[in-house]
């Protein structure tokens, strides 16, 4: 069945449904008109005739009402609908016969008032039923013709010329009504067809929208799922570069190495941005709410950018109140870090001010600059993916244009209000607003150990199933003076430990996803049980699932996300040893 045939069939069915929906109004009109006619002719026409006519009208109207109720309850489909339409047409024909009979039974030609009443009632009822009954042409024809033809016939057989003229006018009126019934029917059919076409378009649009959303979600899930595989080679490259840097003596070679590591750092930032966007779109980020000290967080983040601001001759000031909010420390930190990076790279500012203050029960974190500002027309665009105002040449050192897009998505995820205020040549202000924390203060305090860079002499167990990463890390750790036992799996490490009497290691470093569906956390737990000691441990992984981070926290295992720069690995090792010495009295 082609689309036109399908539409024609559906239109016919809809016309019948419309007929039944509008019929109660017709029945009310019939009862009202019947009351007027019966009252007028009571005493003028023999009572049995009037009573019989009224009874027949009432019985037929009740039967038609019951038919409407049955139609609505049964909700017929397919070709059965048309059968109901023809049944309605038959009932209309019977109704027309009863109404047309008053021209024969009740009409007295010698009484002008009866001629006027009968003519007005019959023509009025035919005209009034034109729109509702024309939805199904057989129904209107079945009603109009038996209603009006008896009146026309009675007028035409009279001897008086005026009455004969009325008879011809009634015929003309019938022709006009029947003609208009086709017009009304066609208009209704066109409106029904237009509605069906719109519904088809909406369904198709929804289908295409669902396809596009599914493709976008699948893309995001794919990127999130392949995050580990993408990070592995970059992680290995960073470690190899770090190892190679320790071997270079020539200044020219060191200069090339610095450029290589800068390129690696840019690549890492771009990968992190893409992974963040994909994970946000895929809905795979789990918010870990906690009581966060805003002053401590912002201070640590601003220090990260201190060297960069000095290199760009940008004065960066921090003005903070000691306040707490309920949020995810890592995700809020990412928002602030992206806003600071955006201000340093893109604002062309001379001064940047970072503030955190309480306004009533709301905490406002603001990053202000006195740079070039952002036109109002671009306030929404700058939060779009890959949009950069001042990077037409697509310089990758300026990022991908994903920083603010990530900030906006994270603000919605954390339910923090994000606002932008900016004026051309006067600067910009990005404001993050969140409710002040109502959680009770915990006894956990932030550690203030000063980082030690010297990690020589440490005995480390290292588990990594990726050969390139294992070799690069092994080379780097040995250059730093560490004693190392490395293997591709827990079983390989265990065999080595069984072979010789190794002492308890100072640190365990493991990838998260190991062979035989084993996790790094499982391996760490097994090794801690073997040595009967809570050995400091680090998971180095490309998997950013928040549940993994949560499980690591429960087991007091630190997390480093690939790709890990050599200095990050070294600092992570040093921090783990400081924490161990700080807790040695409780071990």
CATH of the domain at 365: 3.30.565.10
- Looking at the chain, the whole-number percentage of residues with pLDDT higher than 90 is 18
**What's the whole-number average pLDDT of the chain?**
81
Domain boundary at 202, 218, 241, which?
202
Burial 168-182 (b: 16+ CB within 10 A, else e): eebbebbeebbeebe
User: Are the CB atoms for 72 and 28 separated by under 8 Å?
Assistant: no
pLDDT in tens, 74-111: 877 767 788 888 899 999 999 999 999 999 888 888 88
- Give Cα separations from 195 to 7, 131, 417 (angstroms): 11, 19, 41
Range of the domain at 321: 287-435
User: Can you name the residues that pair with 319 across neighbouring β-strands?
Assistant: 355
pLDDT at 429: 92
pLDDT in tens, 186-222: 888 888 888 888 888 888 888 888 887 777 667 666 6
Question: What pairing do the DSSP bridges indicate for beta strands 290-293 and 324-327?
Answer: antiparallel
Q: Is residue 216 part of a domain?
A: no
- CA–CA separation, 462 vs 561, rounded Å? 16
Q: Is residue 209 part of a domain?
A: no
CATH number, domain containing residue 470: 3.40.50.2300
Q: Looking at the structure, do residues 276 and 257 belong to the same domain, yes or no?
A: yes
pLDDT at 247: 78
- CA–CA separation, 267 vs 289, rounded Å? 30
User: Can you name the residues that pair with 359 across neighbouring β-strands?
Assistant: 362
pLDDT at 224: 56
Q: Is residue 220 part of a domain?
A: no
Mean pLDDT of 464-475: 86
Mean pLDDT of 485-508: 87
* pLDDT over 80 (residue 496): yes
* Domains of the chain: total: 3
Q: Is residue 139 part of a domain?
A: yes
Angle between helices 490-499 and 520-531 (to 10 degrees): 20
Domain boundary at 384, 408, 435, which?
435
Q: Looking at the structure, do residues 33 and 52 belong to the same domain, yes or no?
A: yes
- Long-range (24+ apart) CB contacts under 8 A made by 40-49 are 40/114, 40/117, 41/102, 41/106, 41/114, 44/106, 44/108, 44/114, 45/105, 45/106, 49/105, 49/106
Q: Looking at the structure, do residues 24 and 150 belong to the same domain, yes or no?
A: yes
> Which ranges constitute the DSSP H helices of 108-160?
112-128, 130-133, 137-156
pLDDT at 394: 47
Q: Looking at the structure, do residues 108 and 51 belong to the same domain, yes or no?
A: yes
pLDDT in tens, 401-455: 677 888 888 888 888 999 999 888 888 999 999 888 765 544 333 333 334 457 8
Q: Looking at the structure, do residues 172 and 53 belong to the same domain, yes or no?
A: yes
* pLDDT over 80 (residue 511): yes
* Six-digit token string for 238: 């960073």
Q: Is 227 exposed, middle or buried (0-12, 13-18, 19+ CB in 10 A)?
A: buried
Q: Is residue 163 part of a domain?
A: yes
- For residue 498, the number of C-alpha atoms closer than 13 Å in the C-beta half-sphere is 6
Q: Is 405 helix (H, G, I), strand (E, B) or coil?
A: helix
DSSP structure string for 9-37: HHHHHHHHHHHHHHHHHHHHHHHHHHHHH
Q: Is residue 551 part of a domain?
A: yes
Q: Looking at the structure, do residues 273 and 374 belong to the same domain, yes or no?
A: no
User: Which of 274, 567, 280 shows the shortest CA–CA distance to 399?
Assistant: 274
Q: Looking at the structure, do residues 279 and 292 belong to the same domain, yes or no?
A: no
User: Can you name the residues that pair with 485 across neighbouring β-strands?
Assistant: 461
Q: Looking at the structure, do residues 525 and 575 belong to the same domain, yes or no?
A: yes
* pLDDT over 90 (residue 4): no
pLDDT at 556: 87
pLDDT in tens, 331-384: 888 889 889 988 888 888 889 999 999 888 889 999 999 988 888 878 777 877
Q: Looking at the structure, do residues 77 and 194 belong to the same domain, yes or no?
A: yes
* pLDDT over 70 (residue 581): no
Instruction: Name the least confident of 385-399, 495-509, 573-587.
Output: 385-399
pLDDT in tens, 526-566: 999 999 888 999 998 877 666 787 888 888 888 887 777 78
* pLDDT over 80 (residue 233): no
Q: Looking at the structure, do residues 280 and 291 belong to the same domain, yes or no?
A: no
pLDDT at 291: 84
pLDDT at 377: 76
Domain boundary at 384, 404, 435, which?
435
* pLDDT over 70 (residue 476): yes
pLDDT in tens, 109-163: 888 888 889 889 999 989 988 888 888 889 999 999 999 999 999 988 888 888 8
Q: Is residue 375 part of a domain?
A: yes
Per the model's pLDDT, the better-predicted residue between 223 and 383 turns out to be 383
pLDDT at 537: 92
Q: Looking at the structure, do residues 543 and 516 belong to the same domain, yes or no?
A: yes
* pLDDT over 60 (residue 24): yes
Task: Grade residue 2 by pLDDT with cuts at 50, 70 and 90.
Answer: very low
Q: Is residue 302 part of a domain?
A: yes
Q: Looking at the structure, do residues 167 and 265 belong to the same domain, yes or no?
A: no
User: Are the CB atoms for 23 and 64 separated by under 8 Å?
Assistant: yes
């Amino acid at each position: 069945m082609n689309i036109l045939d399908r539409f024609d069939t559906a239109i016919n069915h809809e016309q019948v449904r419309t007929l039944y929906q509008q019929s109660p109004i017709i029945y009310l009109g019939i009862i009202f008109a019947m009351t007027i006619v019966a009252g007028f002719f009571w005493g003028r026409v023999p009572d049995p005739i009037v009573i019989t006519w009224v009874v027949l009208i009432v019985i037929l109207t009740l039967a038609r009402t019951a038919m409407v109720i049955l139609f609505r309850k049964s909700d017929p489909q397919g070709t059965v609908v048309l059968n109901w339409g023809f049944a309605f047409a038959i009932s209309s024909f019977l109704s027309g016969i009863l109404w047309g009979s008053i021209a024969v039974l009740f009409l007295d030609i010698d009484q002008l008032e009866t001629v006027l009443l009968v003519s007005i009632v019959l023509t009025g009822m035919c005209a009034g039923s034109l729109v509702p009954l024309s939805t199904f042409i057989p129904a209107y024809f079945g009603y109009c013709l038996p209603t009006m033809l008896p009146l026309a016939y009675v007028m035409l057989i009279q001897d008086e010329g005026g009455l004969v003229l009325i008879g011809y006018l009634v015929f003309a009126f019938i022709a006009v009504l029947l003609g208009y019934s086709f017009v009304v029917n066609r208009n209704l059919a066109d409106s029904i067809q237009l509605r069906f076409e719109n519904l088809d378009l909406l369904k198709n649009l929804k289908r295409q929208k669902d396809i596009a959303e599914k493709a976008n979600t699948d893309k995001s899930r794919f990127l999130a799922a392949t995050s580990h595989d993408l990070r592995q080679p970059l992680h290995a490259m960073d470690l190899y570069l770090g190892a190679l840097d320790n071997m270079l003596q020539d200044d020219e070679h060191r200069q090339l190495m610095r450029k290589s590591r800068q390129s690696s750092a840019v690549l890492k930032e771009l990968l992190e941005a893409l992974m963040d966007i994909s994970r946000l779109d895929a809905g795979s980020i789990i918010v870990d709410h906690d009581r966060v000290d805003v002053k401590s967080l912002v201070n640590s983040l601003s220090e990260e950018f201190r060297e960069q601001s000095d290199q760009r001759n940008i004065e960066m000031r921090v003005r903070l109140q000691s306040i707490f909010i309920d949020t995810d420390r890592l995700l809020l930190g990412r928002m602030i870090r992206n806003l600071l990076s955006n201000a340093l790279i893109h604002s062309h500012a001379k001064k940047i001010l970072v503030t955190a203050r309480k306004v009533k029960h709301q905490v406002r974190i603001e990053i202000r600059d006195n740079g070039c500002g952002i036109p109002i027309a671009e306030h929404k665009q700058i939060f779009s993916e890959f949009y950069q105002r001042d990077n037409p040449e697509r310089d990758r050192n300026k990022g991908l244009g994903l920083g603010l897009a990530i900030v906006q998505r994270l603000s919605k995820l954390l339910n923090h209000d994000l606002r932008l205020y900016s004026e051309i040549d006067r600067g910009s202000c990005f404001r993050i607003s969140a409710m002040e924390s109502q959680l009770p203060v915990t006894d956990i305090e932030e550690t203030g150990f000063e980082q030690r860079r010297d990690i020589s002499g440490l005995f480390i167990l290292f588990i990594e199933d990726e050969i390139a990463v294992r070799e690069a890390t092994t080379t780097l750790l040995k250059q730093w003076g560490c004693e190392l036992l490395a293997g591709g799996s827990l079983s390989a490490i265990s065999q080595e430990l069984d072979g010789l009497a190794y002492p308890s290691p100072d640190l365990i470093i493991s990838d998260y996803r190991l062979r035989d569906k084993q996790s790094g956390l499982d391996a760490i737990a097994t090794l801690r049980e073997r040595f009967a000691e809570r050995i400091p441990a680090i998971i180095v992984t490309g998997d950013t699932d928040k549940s993994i981070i949560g499980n690591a926290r429960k087991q007091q295992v630190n997390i480093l996300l690939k790709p890990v720069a050599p200095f990050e690995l070294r600092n992570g090792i040093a921090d783990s040893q400081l924490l161990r010495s700080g807790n040695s009295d409780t071990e």
